[in-house]
Amino acid sequence: MAYDMRDDLEDIYFTEQQLADKVAELGARITEDYRDKNPLIVSVLKGSYVFMADLTRAIDAPCNVDFMVVSSYGVGTKTSGEVQIIKDISQPIDGRDLLIVEDILDSGVTLHYLMQVLKARGANSIRLCTLLSKPARRKVEVKVDYLGFEIPDAFVVGYGLDYAERYRNLPYIGILKPSVYGGA
Ligand code: IMP
Ligand code: MG
């Protein structure tokens, strides 16, 4: 039998329909809040690429889009430590209203750092939209303005989220079987 990615999943956590409903709800709120602001919507790659594509199409107001790539901090790096910007926003953000789009807020270290860097560049406002949040894992506090779902401390994949660079193209979000991690 051919390999099927779905066999690696223990369970589906959020279906395509649940995700679509949530994206529509967030898009409507963002449309209201940013109607006359022409926001710059910034996706933090790679995990947020699917969410970004769906969310921006659910926003019924003028906006610009851009993308950043930041390195994940390595094991043993201090939690307050530097996060490296691998690819930066390709336009000035001075005076702009920024909306940062993330896939999942975990420790918060990456986002905390990123928000500080962008604030220092003179943006008029910066808000954060994250599809998922794991509050139990937080190491630094990060204010979330638009939240999709809170989830417990489980490792999820799909809808842009990966494990070892796989499963990003699953159209829903699932939990991996422990055996995929080399566990039980
Ligand atoms: P942090 O908030 O700085 O710890 O970084 C969060 C990043 O860790 C996310 O952008 C994801 O790339 C990754 N991550 C955290 N939890 C998960 C998960 O459950 N599945 C897939 N990626 C995750
Ligand atoms: Mg990410």
Between 140 and 77, residue with greater pLDDT: 140
Residue 83 CB less than 6 A away from ligand 1: no
Q: Please say if the pLDDT value at position 113 is more than 70.
A: yes
DSSP letters, 100-140, are EEEEEESSSHHHHHHHHHHHHTT-SEEEEEEEEE-GGG-SS
Q: Give the residue, by CA position, lying nearest to ligand 1 atom 20.
A: 156
pLDDT band at 183 (very low <50, low <70, confident <90, very high): low
- Residue 14 CB-density burial (10 A; 0-12 exposed, 13-18 middle, 19+ buried): buried
Q: Give the residue, by CA position, lying nearest to ligand 1 atom 6.
A: 106
Q: Is 62 helix (H, G, I), strand (E, B) or coil?
A: coil
CA of 25 to the centre of ligand 1 (A): 23
Mean pLDDT, rounded, for 69-83? 63
Mean pLDDT, rounded, for 70-78? 61
Please, are residues 83 and 100 in contact by the beta-carbon 8 Å criterion? no
> How far is Cα 184 from Cα 118, in angstroms, rounded to an integer?
42
Mean pLDDT, rounded, for 110-132? 95
- The overall average pLDDT reported for the chain is 93
pLDDT at 88: 96
pLDDT at 182: 75
* Beta-bridge partners for 157: 174
Q: Which of 78-82, 117-121, 158-162 is least confident?
A: 78-82
CA of 101 to the centre of ligand 2 (A): 9
pLDDT at 184: 58
pLDDT at 176: 93
Ligand 1 site-directed mutation target among 75, 106, 149, 167, most atoms within 8 Å of CB: 106
- Ligand 1 atom with the smallest distance to the CA of 163 is 21
Mean pLDDT, rounded, for 37-43? 98
Between 184 and 46, residue with greater pLDDT: 46
pLDDT at 74: 54
pLDDT at 181: 80
Query: Which residues does 11 contact at the CB level (< 8 Å), separation at least 6?
Result: 174, 175
Residue 17 CB coordination number (10 Å): 9
Mean pLDDT, rounded, for 42-64? 98
Q: Which amino acid is at 151?
A: I
Residue 154: nearest ligand to its CA?
Answer: 1
pLDDT at 71: 85
Residue 107 CB less than 6 A away from ligand 1: yes
Residue with tokens 């809808």: 159
Q: What percent of the chain has pLDDT over 90?
A: 86
Q: Please say if the pLDDT value at position 80 is more than 60.
A: no
Q: Which of 51-55, 76-80, 133-137, 167-171 is least confident?
A: 76-80
Residue 108 CB less than 6 A away from ligand 1: yes
* Beta-bridge partners for 104: 132
